[in-house]
Amino acid sequence: MGIVYRCKDLRLDRDVAVKVIGWSLSDSQVVRFHQEARALAKLQHPNILAIENFAHSDDGSLFLVMELLKGKRLSDIIESKEDIPFVQALEVFIQICNGLSHAHNRDILHRDIKPSNIFLDDTKYDTAHVTITDFGLAKLVTEDQRLTKTGISIGSPPYMSPEQANGSNVDERSDLYAVGCLMFEVLSGDKPFSGSSIPHILMKHAKEPPPRLSEQVPEKSFPSEIDTIISTCLAKSPADRFQSVSELGEALQKLLNRSSRRYADGTGFSGSYSQQTLMEKSNLSGQDQSQRHSKLGLHVVLSLLVLGILTIAGAGWLIFADRSNESDLPPEEPYLTDSTGDEDIPPPEETIKTETKKQTPLVVINRRDARKHLEELLARYREKDGAAFPSISLARSDVRDKDLELLEGLPIKKLNLFRTAITDSGLEHLSKLPQLEELDLGITKITDEGVKLLRQFPSLKTIRLTSTAITDAGVSELSR
């Protein structure tokens, strides 16, 4: 479809991905590009690779500018034969549903969901953040659908729904079918339908009953619910599938809640191996097995005892912890946490990361206890007389408006508050940063009133306001 380059955004001094799409295109192709690009621009969600810009270049080609991702594609993980633990696989599926739900609610279909279009920024699956890529084939269900000629199939054969394969009109349930194929492949290591040719594969999608995990990988004791969920997604008729990606996400979340307890043994496999299979793998005699089970039982009892003591201690700490600031916290917003919980929270030892670039350190403070880590950071730099003061990223953290008072008067040039609970009140503190040049307020609660406060920022050059509540009035204020 085009060429993807790694480029440098000179204005923001960061690397980006630039997808160049064709040269010397027809008028109809240019019209389609602009419609698709406008559709992409509507998608601002943590689980979707957002388009940051699109335009024509001097040589007549068209291009999209996107965030440069780091990590692995899901297809690479499958090809490496690496098993994703079952609970973590469910969390990946739920994040995919979250992103697709955002797109479907804006009448945008992906139409090419497959493992190579799913990106994980961390292969420690309990902390992995999922990004859906390549919405370049997405079509608006309304206007853009009319630009697609009947009979033209768009997608990848191993993941195409029966109605998509025969060129019929499609809706969000076609994306659900592709998610079903993806889930089956992640958990079993094989595609649900394969063949020697594209027509052979498409015929299987249309006519052949979908396989079941319990038959494909009988050595792994997956819960029966996941078989039911995947079979529902792979129903031949759209009417027999889940009717929305939100409905699928809810079913996966319920299964995750149960499986988190059921598979808390950390076997490291996509599904727990049955007792018989484990015995075969270990090749133990009956006497050895008995001894192993006896020792295992003792370890389980001791582990449960320790776990019980820790749980009671933890509960006591929660009950008597200082709650003096709870009344100040704004209510939790849907965009502050993912439905799967704290999957993007790093281990405690990774809470503060420091990188040096052009003699100016960049400090990343992740989600939990942002105020405490911020106080530690500021104390550290105040002790270093003459040291370059860091740029600070508090993106996705639990920082609140009142915490920003800690920064007043400091020589900070760049501050990232993306996807936090910061409101207009927090800008009062930020206006007292005399050297602040770059500010990211994407997915915060900033409004038109907050935009008015930006006049008080003496050095501000760049600001990001993606997915805020700003209206035309706020944009008018920005022009001043």
CATH code (residue 220)? 1.10.510.10
3-state secondary structure (DSSP) of residue 275: helix
Query: Distance (Å, rounded) from C-alpha 95 to C-alpha 48?
Result: 10
Give 33-40 contacts, CB < 8 A, sequence gap 24+: 33/62, 35/140, 35/143, 35/144, 35/147, 36/135, 36/136, 36/138, 36/139, 36/144, 37/64, 39/106, 39/108, 39/135, 39/138, 39/139, 39/140, 39/144, 40/64, 40/135, 40/136, 40/138
Q: How confident is the model at residue 5 (pLDDT cuts 50, 70, 90)?
A: very high
- Give residue 316's pLDDT: 53
Contact 114, 159 (CB under 8 A): yes
Say if residue 94 is in the same domain as residue 235: yes
Query: How deeply is 25 buried, as exposed, middle or buried, from its count of CB atoms within 10 A (0-12, 13-18, 19+)?
Result: middle
Contact 121, 131 (CB under 8 A): yes
Within a domain: 123: yes
Q: How confident is the model at residue 152 (pLDDT cuts 50, 70, 90)?
A: very low
Sign of CA dihedral 244, 245, 246, 249: positive
Q: How confident is the model at residue 268 (pLDDT cuts 50, 70, 90)?
A: very low
Say if residue 185 is in the same domain as residue 302: no
CATH code (residue 31)? 3.30.200.20
Say if residue 221 is in the same domain as residue 305: no
Say if residue 76 is in the same domain as residue 222: yes
Q: Is the pLDDT of residue 277 over 60?
A: no
- Give residue 315's pLDDT: 52
Say if residue 256 is in the same domain as residue 119: yes
Rg (CA), the chain: 26
- Give residue 184's pLDDT: 94
Mean pLDDT of the region 199-221: 85
Q: Is the pLDDT of residue 286 over 60?
A: no
Of the candidates 103, 106, 96, 89, the one whose C-alpha atom is nearest the C-alpha of residue 159 is 96
> Residue 109: in which H helix or E strand, if any?
strand 108-109
Domain boundary among 29, 49, 67: 67
Q: How confident is the model at residue 343 (pLDDT cuts 50, 70, 90)?
A: very low
Show the domain range for 245.
Answer: 72-262
Q: Is the pLDDT of residue 267 over 50?
A: no
- Give residue 409's pLDDT: 86
Q: Please tell me which of 28-32, 344-348, 377-381, 449-453 the model is most confident about, judged by mean pLDDT.
A: 449-453
| pTM check: above 0.75 | no
Q: Which of 23-37, 233-247, 328-342 has the lowest mean pLDDT?
A: 328-342
Let me know the angle formed at the C-alpha of 222 by 215 and 76, rounded to the nearest 5 degrees.
85
Say if residue 294 is in the same domain as residue 240: no
- Give residue 53's pLDDT: 84
Token digits of residue 240: 């027999």
Mean pLDDT of the region 374-401: 82
Q: How confident is the model at residue 145 (pLDDT cuts 50, 70, 90)?
A: very low
Mean pLDDT of the region 236-265: 82
Q: Which residue has the higher pLDDT, 362 or 250?
A: 250
State the DSSP code for 81. T
Helix axes 245-262, 172-188, angle to 10 degrees: 20
Query: Distance (Å, rounded) from C-alpha 328 to C-alpha 322?
Result: 13
Q: How confident is the model at residue 330 (pLDDT cuts 50, 70, 90)?
A: very low
Within a domain: 360: yes
Domain boundary among 67, 86, 103: 67
Q: What is the residue-averaged pLDDT of the chain? A: 76
Percent of the chain with pLDDT over 90: 19
Q: Which residue has the higher pLDDT, 180 or 40?
A: 180
Token digits of residue 450: 């907050």
Q: Is the pLDDT of residue 51 over 60?
A: yes
Q: Is the pLDDT of residue 291 over 90?
A: no
Q: How confident is the model at residue 12 (pLDDT cuts 50, 70, 90)?
A: confident
Q: Is the pLDDT of residue 95 over 90?
A: yes
CATH code (residue 462)? 3.80.10.10
Tally of structural domains, the chain: 4
Contact 144, 35 (CB under 8 A): yes
Query: Distance (Å, rounded) from C-alpha 423 to C-alpha 405?
Result: 13
Mean pLDDT of the region 434-451: 90
Query: Distance (Å, rounded) from C-alpha 88 to C-alpha 80?
Result: 17
3-state secondary structure (DSSP) of residue 341: strand
DSSP H stretches of helix in 168-244: 172-188, 198-207, 213-216, 224-233
Say if residue 85 is in the same domain as residue 223: yes
Mean pLDDT of the region 34-47: 80
Q: Which of 44-48, 311-315, 415-419 has the lowest mean pLDDT?
A: 311-315
Say if residue 174 is in the same domain as residue 314: no
DSSP string, 285-319: -HHHHHHHHHHHHHHHHHHHHHHHHHHHHHHHHHH
Q: Which of 116-125, 407-416, 450-459 has the lowest mean pLDDT?
A: 116-125
Within a domain: 270: no
Q: Which of 258-272, 291-305, 445-459 has the lowest mean pLDDT?
A: 258-272
Q: How confident is the model at residue 311 (pLDDT cuts 50, 70, 90)?
A: low
- Give residue 215's pLDDT: 86
Q: Which of 53-62, 332-341, 369-378 has the lowest mean pLDDT?
A: 332-341
Residues with a catalytic annotation lie at 112
Within a domain: 15: yes
Within a domain: 20: yes
Say if residue 376 is in the same domain as residue 449: yes
Within a domain: 275: no
Contact 233, 249 (CB under 8 A): no
Backbone dihedral angles phi then psi of residue 329, each to the nearest 5 degrees: -75, 135
Within a domain: 269: no
Say if residue 113 is in the same domain as residue 22: no
Q: How confident is the model at residue 297 (pLDDT cuts 50, 70, 90)?
A: low
Say if residue 316 is in the same domain as residue 198: no
Q: Which residue has the higher pLDDT, 313 or 88?
A: 88
Say if residue 62 is in the same domain as residue 84: no
Exposure letters 28-42 (e unless 16+ CB within 10 A, then b): eeeebbebbbebbeb
Token digits of residue 118: 């799913």
Within a domain: 132: yes
Q: Is the pLDDT of residue 79 over 50?
A: yes
Task: Give the total residue count for the chain.
Answer: 480
DSSP string, 239-259: GGS-SSHHHHHHHHHHHHHHH
